[in-house]
Amino acid sequence: GLSVSAAFSRRPALTGAELRSDLPLPSAFRVPLPVPPVLKPVSTSGGVDRYEITQRVESAEILPGHRTPLWTYDGTFPGPTIEARRGRPVSITHRNELPVPTVVHLHGGRTAPDSDGYPTDLVLPEEWQEGHGAHGGGHKMSDPRAVVTRVTRRYTFPMDQRPTLLWYHDHRMDFTAPAIWQGLAGLHVVRDDAEDALGLPSGRRELPLMITDRAFADSGALVYPAIDRTLRTRPGVRGAYLGGVLGDVILVNGAPWPVHEVDAVRYRLRFLNASNSRHYDLEAIGPDGRRLDLVQVGSDQGLLAAPVTHRRLPIAPAERYDVVVDFADVPVGGMVRIANRLGSGRTGDVMAFRVARRAADGSRVPRVLSTDLPTWRRSEAVRTREFSFRAGRMHGDHGWLIGGLPFDPARSDVKVGLGDVEVWRLVADVHHPVHLHLVGFRVLSRSGRKPLPQDAGLKDTVSLRPGESAEIITRFDGYRGRYLFHCHNAEHEDMGMMANLEIT
Ligand code: C2O
Ligand code: CU
């Protein structure tokens, strides 16, 4: 059986607990890298691209020779990719045919509050009756402000924002982590003419890479503590997985340790860490053991001002890094391994590229990538706030708190004025990737020192390392209404580490 003994220890684990799969795992770099299908709009009239997505159970062959039942957007994991143009609104009707209520959130989207996927703003499956509240791990439907829509729900995204790689995922209260784990995540790309004109690698030479970890039972099914009945009812489970759920299989675009054939030219790799709680520290290792440069051109919220070259790139849950790698110096037939320095054994590998042939390269990485990055100054800030992100007690159990409190949809936590610039100081006990909805921000400092090289550009998720504090600055503009900020370790989020952000 699955090794779950860690689940029964009494001492809470503040770092993620790894589930071990009960299936023989495939050898690395054999399965070809899939690229998620791009969804076709059902109509494009009136300057709006309209899409329909059905959320349904579907099984897929993830480990060769085994079927894995998943919760999917339109039958695939990752879900279909939405390709959007800046300033051209996208409208997506989601239909829920899953056995559980869902909530769709476009991560990094500049979205009005009614389409932002508040955690109690549910899309209910047909059969769902109120009163099934205990099903699937303690979800609550008691918030009087919950807007309950049945079966289908239309979400509108203005796409009035810098081009970047966004992603959509489930966001239901107390149940986000298992829902994402079961497959509810997809990519959403925003582009514009200015970015297209830069000459970065494109077409087949631009690849989205959604990295996740999972664990598999011997039936081929994914295993997750909160939705496995035998695990859920045992005491101590919550404590064991307080730090987060880790799997022993690394998937890229839903395939285990895949391989991709490339020309000996530049590629644009758009990394997203969509794992629940696993952090990676990525490096590209050539056949001679030398590390290739990771030339970062963009961050969570789009292009940097100028490229930043890394030898390794830490990536926390929900972060995106837009990176150009040049395979020109790799001999034909050579393999470049994307490794994870934070992993051990099999989790130390992510995927590989095999250089198949020489080819002409018309791409370039310009020295100036963008000139529209906001440059908010401290002196503009009307307020400085501080929030602690720490373990604590929640309803008599272990939980995760912001400013000493677990999430409560009925409470108002922070009210900011529309258009105000604020500095927030975020203080962490253990590793917490902190995400703000609606706005992009800049990182001003880390523990009183200057930001890290990978903090460049406009972020929507900042990876706070253990014991660290970070200052961020942003302007709360766009829309009035109720949004969120939270830890994007999905288990931390489900165990209370989320707060309301009201823009008034
Ligand atoms: Cu990616 Cu509030 O989430
Ligand atoms: Cu956290």
Looking at the CA of residue 169, tell me the nearest atom of ligand 1: 1
The protein residue whose alpha carbon is closest to atom 1 in ligand 1 is 107
| 3-class secondary structure, 49 | strand
Which ligand is closest in space to the CA of residue 111?
A: 1
Expressed in angstroms and rounded, the spacing between residue 225 Cα and the centre of ligand 1 is: 21
Dist CA 358 CA 265 (whole Å): 8
For residue range 25-52, list pLDDT tens digits in order: 999 999 999 999 999 999 999 999 999 9
Provide the phi-psi class of 31: left if phi over 0, else alpha when psi is between -120 and 50, else beta: beta
Q: Is the dihedral of CA 452, 457, 463, 469 positive or negative?
A: positive
In a domain, 79, yes or no: yes
36 and 72 in contact (C-beta within 8 Å)?
Answer: no
149 has pLDDT over 90: no
- Tell me the pTM: 0.94
Phi-psi region of 305 (alpha: psi -120 to 50; beta: other; left: phi over 0): alpha
Is 198 part of any domain?
A: no
Give the whole-angstrom CA distance, residue 238 versus residue 400. 12
pLDDT for position 226: 66
Say yes or no: 251 and 140 in one domain.
no
Q: What is the rounded average pLDDT of the residues 211-232?
A: 82
- Residue 142 backbone dihedrals phi, psi, to 5 degrees: -90, -5
C-alpha of residue 274 to centroid of ligand 1, in Å: 10
Structure confidence at residue 241 (pLDDT): 86
Residues 238 and 263 in one domain: yes
Average per-residue pLDDT in the chain?
92
Domain boundary among 309, 325, 357: 357
- Measure Cα distances from 91 to 88, 102, 153, 157, 227 in Å: 10, 18, 10, 6, 31
Q: What's the confidence (pLDDT) of residue 130?
A: 52
pLDDT at position 42: 98
Q: How confident is the model at residue 151 (pLDDT cuts 50, 70, 90)?
A: confident
Write out pLDDT tens, residues 380-396. Answer: 999 999 999 999 988 88
Residue 246 near residue 18 (C-beta atoms within 8 A): yes
Tell me the mean pLDDT in the region 360-377.
97
* Residue with the larger pLDDT of the pair 313 and 13: 313
Question: Are residues 89 and 184 located together in one domain of the fold?
Answer: yes
The set of protein residues with a Cβ atom below 6 angstroms from ligand 1 is 105, 107, 169, 171, 318, 435, 437, 484, 486, 488
218 and 129 in one domain?
Answer: no
- 136: alpha, beta or left? (left if phi > 0; alpha if psi -120 to 50): left
Domain limits at 425?
378-503
**β 17-18/245-246 pair status:** parallel
**For position 229, what pLDDT does the model report?**
52
Task: Tell me the ipTM for this assembly.
Answer: 0.99
- At 233 the pLDDT is 54
Q: Is residue 147 predicted with pLDDT exceeding 60?
A: no
* Number of domains comprising the chain: 3
SS3 of 231, please? helix
